[in-house]
Amino acid sequence: MSERSDVESISSKELIARTGISRATLNNYISLNLVPSPTIRKPEEPGGPTKIGYFPIWVLERIEKIRELKASGVRMADIGAHFVGEVKEIAPAPPSEPSVEFAYQSIEQIVFPAILVNQSWEIIWINQSAEKVLFKEPVHEIPSASKRNILRLLLNKHGIKRFSNWKEVLEVHIRLAKRDLTGELMEQICRQIDDCPVEEIKELWQKTEPLQERPITQQKLVLKPKKGKTTNHTVFSSDFREGTLLLYTPERMQLDQILDLLMGRERLVKALLSKRIPSLTPLCILAGRLESSLHLRTALPPHEYFDLLNQIILMSHQCFKEHGGTPGRSIQEGVVCFFLSAPDSPKDYLEQAIQCAETLKQMIVTLDRRWKYRKVWKNSLQLNMGIHCGEEWLGTIPSSLAFEFTVMGETLIETVKLSEFAQGGTIWASKKVIENMLPADRQRVEFGVRLGTGQEGFISPRIYSQVRELISGDELKRRALREISNLAVTEIINVQPLDERDL
């Protein structure tokens, strides 16, 4: 079957509007060779994007026919065979102009600068193009997350001394950052940089209006390096739960291609998190391990044993969320949570961990009552907890379902060992945690070391002791606690609830 040639064409935008299909569906039809690839050229209508794709007009009929075949039950794999006998002659289109290649199917193939920042505006992912164009240094090799703050990088010698219009460059980023950061934090960043014009930055911050909250924003950005040629960009930003993605696209970039990338949010976030830069981060870790007077694996049928563990994990994760923590990979019959330092409240994470442990302790008491009623037993369920802090490498690891935080370093190992040292549902914290708390927060915590045996032992308040002084050498070896033998610790006896602090 032969059909006449059509000289008319239709833009991708109009094609989608008239057929009602999505851009993803159109791309799928192209990949299956059901419709031809578009010709890229300047749009016929003024305004809008500088480049757009055009299809021959007969593609409208083709899409309608595909819809009919699908409605009649024909599989997509067989629809292509239906059009094998048809010959569509495509009239020569006006010469297409060169366009920027944009392989948005893979995040690694983005050829223009791209950056992902967290809510503190610290770079957690960056491609080589952004490092070269904006910073002239390997940002991904900077170990400290705070030193990867994008505003700080733009203000150091590679920013102020590199761009003759550095204020304009900074202003574009301030419009976005003001939605997350305060002027005090901006001033704090400035004072950490040698020769930074603090007063000029304060004035720029005050006069710059933040962009309104929206899924996607765009701004014009001109980069005028003191050495090299001036380049024009469009800065697209898209907000995700994990942070803000910044795309520094050439002005000639097609708008519809950018939107394709940003609308594929789930795929994009997964790709970005898999490349997240590990950071040396101040953090506090809470580890909890279940203790029972029965050997649960033999005392319970498998389905009840796993039901109990799932209840503990779900209950713990809810508690972690309420106290600002991030769950880590669960340990055997136990849980782990990370509490991260925030720029505007750098000490709060320590109190959050202790408050979380106290809340979780009470939740386990409630769970224990339910299982006593359910099983009619005298068994007691208790969660022994350890809390420790340090500065460690924080990153993410992929799984088939999600991305989980993980920590490399001694702090995690020592915290887990501290939870193994704890017995009888007690909470033990390292001296480092308590001493680094704000004085007002520390006053709300009752802590000390029991000088007797068992829960009835006399408590010497507000002191610490090394683990090796609290148990015998034989027990230290038997319980494999030598790694924390010199760790100074104290037992958390009681914590004033958060709702009492304002009374």
pLDDT digits (tens, 9 = 90+) for 209-259: 988 766 678 899 999 998 889 999 989 888 776 678 898 988 766 555 555
The secondary structure of the chain in percent helix, strand, coil, rounded to multiples of 5, reads 40, 25, 35
pLDDT digits (tens, 9 = 90+) for 55-88: 888 999 898 888 888 777 777 767 777 776 565 5
Residue 65: its pLDDT value, please?
A: 87
Residue 233 has which token pair?
């960009």
Residue 416 has which token pair?
């887990």
- Quote the CA–CA distance of 336 and 219 in Å, as a whole number: 42
Average pLDDT for residues 272-296, to the nearest whole number?
81
Residue 230: its pLDDT value, please?
A: 92
Residue 218: its pLDDT value, please?
A: 84
Q: Residue 40's closest CA among 78, 13, 61, 11?
A: 11
Out of 90-94, 258-262, 290-294, least confident range: 90-94
Out of 177-181, 268-272, 346-350, 423-427, least confident range: 268-272
Residue 276: its pLDDT value, please?
A: 64
Q: What percent of the chain has pLDDT over 70?
A: 78
Look up the CATH architecture of domain 279-500: 2-Layer Sandwich (3.30)
Residue 77 has which token pair?
């794999």
Residue 501: its pLDDT value, please?
A: 43
Model confidence at 51: pLDDT above 70 = no
Residue 370: its pLDDT value, please?
A: 94
- Quote the CA–CA distance of 121 and 289 in Å, as a whole number: 35
Residue 500: its pLDDT value, please?
A: 46
Residue 258: its pLDDT value, please?
A: 57
The domain segmentation of the chain, as residue ranges, is: 9-82, 107-274, 279-500
Average pLDDT, the chain: 81
Q: What percent of the chain has pLDDT over 90?
A: 36
Model confidence at 18: pLDDT above 60 = yes
- Quote the CA–CA distance of 136 and 130 in Å, as a whole number: 9
pLDDT digits (tens, 9 = 90+) for 4-14: 334 578 888 88
Look up the CATH architecture of domain 9-82: Orthogonal Bundle (1.10)
Q: Which amino acid is at 174?
A: I
pTM: 0.55
pLDDT digits (tens, 9 = 90+) for 437-491: 999 999 999 999 987 555 556 778 999 999 999 999 999 999 999 999 999 999 9
User: Helices in 275-323 by DSSP H: which ranges?
Assistant: 296-299, 302-322
pLDDT digits (tens, 9 = 90+) for 78-126: 777 777 656 554 444 444 444 433 334 455 567 789 898 988 899 988 9
- Tokens 């340090």 belong to residue: 390
Backbone angles phi, psi at 288, to 5 degrees: -130, 140
Residue 14: its pLDDT value, please?
A: 84
- Quote the CA–CA distance of 404 and 391 in Å, as a whole number: 19
Give the strands of the sheet with 123-126, arranged side by side: 123-126, 114-117, 243-250, 231-240, 216-223
Residue 259: its pLDDT value, please?
A: 55
- Provide the 3-class DSSP secondary structure of residue 254: coil
Q: Which amino acid is at 217?
A: T
> Strand runs (DSSP E) across 341-426, as ranges?
381-398, 403-408
Asked if 407 and 275 touch (Cβ cutoff 8 Å), the reply is no
Average pLDDT for residues 281-300, to the nearest whole number?
90
- Tokens 């957690």 belong to residue: 124
pLDDT digits (tens, 9 = 90+) for 306-321: 899 989 998 998 899 8
Q: Which amino acid is at 413?
A: I
User: Which comes out higher in pLDDT, residue 196 or 408?
Assistant: 196
Asked if 39 and 123 touch (Cβ cutoff 8 Å), the reply is no
Residue 368: its pLDDT value, please?
A: 95
Asked if 233 and 218 touch (Cβ cutoff 8 Å), the reply is no
- Quote the CA–CA distance of 160 and 254 in Å, as a whole number: 31
227-254 burial, b if ≥16 CB within 10 A, otherwise e? eeeeeebbbbbbbbebbbbbbbbbeebb
CATH number for region 107-274: 3.30.450.20
